[in-house]
Structure 1
């Protein structure tokens, strides 16, 4: 149901927000762009093939996020939206732009890529796949 989905999204939002704060990626309720990017490049971009993909994904997503009106980012909620938005966007972009050398050409991977290209949030797809 929609209510369950909303609760699940809020849980993922809270986990991402809490983790980002613990890692020092959020300061004064704002994303620390440099710290966030450094961590993503160090973790998701540690393989040479992925580093440029991660860097571009982060820059593109951060720019998209900066165009969201502040009142939308700060809607009344129990947890911050920005870290969740950035992670969801970055993971989607990485998946869509996976280097050919790392892509697994299977029906499942192609189906997931199609869902992401159609606008499904990465987090929703991952949750569905984990059931």
Structure 2
């Protein structure tokens, strides 16, 4: 049996180790790892839905002129493309999951039971992600400063950005809160999770980059 002094040293050592592991240098982004490697999960969009919405599966190029090219959104779109809003507007409309900026929890549950049918843990995590992110999208868009609507590039339809913001937020949330039952526990994946969990995103970032 360990003596009281040995137990004390053990506890202190554990606390020091925890403090070191919690010290993340937010100025040094870890090497890129495909998120799907760290949290292997089935595709959220079924093949049937992809076929129905294929004409909307396109991401506008980054703005190249005027104020838009220097904006945070312009820089973010160039360096961190987020899900095409028109494509996910189509997906959400077809499934009835998210329409008119409102989440339909009944339709969401039914859809998750199909696409994530092998993992109840993933269904639970995805439900929580959608619920959290739907609220964040409303808050984010309510706080946006008024600005004139920009015309889409030639050949691109006009779509609200909330669907893309929502799906980006959900995807990040799933990667960050990936269930232990499917999570890849490699060092590279743990480093990436630590960075995105403890390092704050830039101010003004859309909810797909919010710290959950």
Shorter chain as normaliser: what TM range?
0.5 to 0.7
Give the C-alpha shift of residue 35 in structure 1: 5.3
- 1:62 lines up with 2:159 in the alignment: no
Aligned residues: 121
Please report the TM-score for the alignment, with normalisation by the length of structure 1.
0.62
**Higher helix share goes to which structure?**
1
Deviations 1:81-121 (A, max 9, x none): 22212211112111111122211122443354345434498
Deviations 1:3-54 (A, max 9, x none): 4863784771222122222333454x43443356335532454312212212
Matches within 5 A, 1:1-131: 3=63, 6=77, 9=81, 12-27=84-99, 29-34=100-105, 37-38=108-109, 41-43=112-114, 45-46=116-117, 47-70=119-142, 72=144, 76=149, 78-114=158-194, 116-117=196-197, 118=199, 119=201
Q: Is the 8 A contact 2:83 2:165 kept in 1?
A: no
- Cα distance change, pair 44–79 in 1 and its aligned pair in 2 (3 A): same
Q: Which has the higher contact order (CA 8 A, sep 6+)?
A: 2
Gaps of 5+ in 2: 1-60, 65-75, 151-157
Query: Alignment RMSD, CA only?
Result: 3.8
Q: Which has the larger radius of gyration?
A: 2
Gaps of 5+ in 1: 125-131
Q: Is the 8 A contact 1:14 1:80 kept in 2?
A: yes
